[in-house]
Structure 1
């Protein structure tokens, strides 16, 4: 999916795609780093410190002050900040208004603070449990804020494209539509939001399944990001469509693309004059 995203960004050489390509590279790096840290953490808990850590592997994985646990949460914090930031960026370039993204930006700042503070409190705990100290409060705030940021930004983005589609639907001369963009954005938002809701519920209920979902959401963030570009690429019919979807000129370009154009009609009529057929052509 990363390769497909990079192909789309390179194939459609527009300035608006440079931040998207950079975000795709960062998400790949962070997802890979998170996987490597997870492998190291498993090796430490089940092999390296199996017999020397007090309490064995169970106590090792419950210790939130372990460097591997703090590192993987820092990686998650950075990836969440990038993923939510891209959604807000898409919302801005489509609306071309700073006022629209004020609330999502405030939520993004709050979730970023929570994402950075939670690992700090985890690093200060000694053999602590994630459900019983200040880390719990900050992690709950993180999941709640990032869920709100994603839903609000995606909702504003979908609403903008939908309203533009309604305005031009009655004037277009072709059967083209921008509704597939809406479907893709909704799919991506639902995928990410469903994972966040599951993590939040597990965490509030002090269920250790939240650790499984936390490891799953790292690639889900990247997948939700990649699928938007990849799924739009086969659908688009002209090289100008994909950049248009992320441009502030979406309404103007859409109106130009689907505007009514004058056409010429050629009418041929055969007449017979003294046994000789003649063709008379008229144009309207």
Structure 2
């Protein structure tokens, strides 16, 4: 019996089922993302780095659920009658290879997703000073995540809530929440301020604000899931297993949401063209305000008699 009151075999079974449902949605979102990136585009015009990140997220999510299925088969079938404590004892053992591997996939995907958000933030702000704190938080995510996975592989305790291990996991979750909120907030704020500056001289309706809303929605979705997982860890509740496993495909969905929205709005003028629009509007305003009139010049010829 786990500390949360529910047997671990029931918790793990539920987590795999729910992860499978959310994973199915993430696959559909991936297909939509690839379609949006390639629709009416030549091969050389496809954003290859973005496509690579989308594929990597799908691969990591797929690998995670495959390892979880193998873990279910090991605990409920292969070692059901031979492992001390039965299936519940097997699933509670954090030193199992399948447990370590699936959490390693989770850490790698978290680093990838947070790194993409930080890169977007830098691309929009065009300043290294803005991303210093997000980068420090990202390094904290990397250090605590790697150490937590290593601690699992070397653990002598059979509980994820053992103090020596749980404190690293909680710092890991808190760091990735802070990284995601800060980077997404800076990104959304920058886009909003640019849009507000342009809206004063734009005649057409803005199509940038939907991207800001999607950025906020994706950040809130991911943050809520991680916050629930953190609360479960603080309360030593086995529900954290369900939430953390579901967080893998949810991370991908949050990323695909933004990509699809940007792909739909890919005809939106870039920041450079927006700046040119502001300049041209300003120049037109000045020319209207100070309209030049023809200047008549009269030349008189003076003849001097000696």
Per the normalisation by structure 2, the TM-score is 0.78
2:73 is the alignment partner of 1:43: yes
Matches within 5 A, 1:46-57: 46-57=76-87
In structure 1, distance between residues paired with 2:83 and 2:163: 22
Displacement after TM superposition at 1:252 (Å): 2.6
2:272 is the alignment partner of 1:252: yes
Q: Which residue in 1 is equivalent to 2:170?
A: 140
Candidates 203, 216, 219, aligned match of 2:246:
216
In structure 1, distance between residues paired with 2:45 and 2:164: 43
1:135-177 deviation per Cα after TM superposition (whole angstroms, max 9, x unaligned): 1111011000000000000000000001001101110121234
2:161 is the alignment partner of 1:131: yes
Q: Which runs of 5+ in 2 are unaligned?
A: 1-28, 285-306
Which structure carries more strand by proportion? 1
In structure 1, distance between residues paired with 2:191 and 2:125: 9
What SS does the aligned partner of 1:99 have? coil
In structure 1, distance between residues paired with 2:166 and 2:197: 47
Q: Cα gap change, 1:257/1:224 in structure 2, threshold over 3 Å: closer, same or farther?
A: farther
Farther off after superposition, 175-184 or 32-41 = 175-184
Per the normalisation by structure 1, the TM-score is 0.83
Aligned length in residues: 252
Q: Cα gap change, 1:186/1:16 in structure 2, threshold over 3 Å: closer, same or farther?
A: farther
Is contact 1:184–1:232 with CA below 8 Å preserved after alignment? no
Is contact 1:65–1:124 with CA below 8 Å preserved after alignment? yes
In structure 1, distance between residues paired with 2:86 and 2:212: 50
Larger Rg: 2
Q: Which residue in 1 is equivalent to 2:33?
A: 5
In structure 1, distance between residues paired with 2:199 and 2:142: 40
Displacement after TM superposition at 1:207 (Å): 0.2
Is contact 1:20–1:86 with CA below 8 Å preserved after alignment? no
Displacement after TM superposition at 1:59 (Å): 0.6
Q: Which runs of 5+ in 1 are unaligned?
A: 245-249, 263-284
Candidates 103, 119, 144, aligned match of 2:133:
103
What SS does the aligned partner of 1:240 have? coil
Q: Which residue in 2 is equivalent to 1:205?
A: 235
What SS does the aligned partner of 2:47 have? helix
Matches within 5 A, 1:62-211: 62-211=92-241
1:79-130 deviation per Cα after TM superposition (whole angstroms, max 9, x unaligned): 0000000100110111111111110011001101111110111111135211
Question: In angstroms, what is the RMSD of aligned CA positions?
Answer: 2.0
Is contact 1:62–1:127 with CA below 8 Å preserved after alignment? no
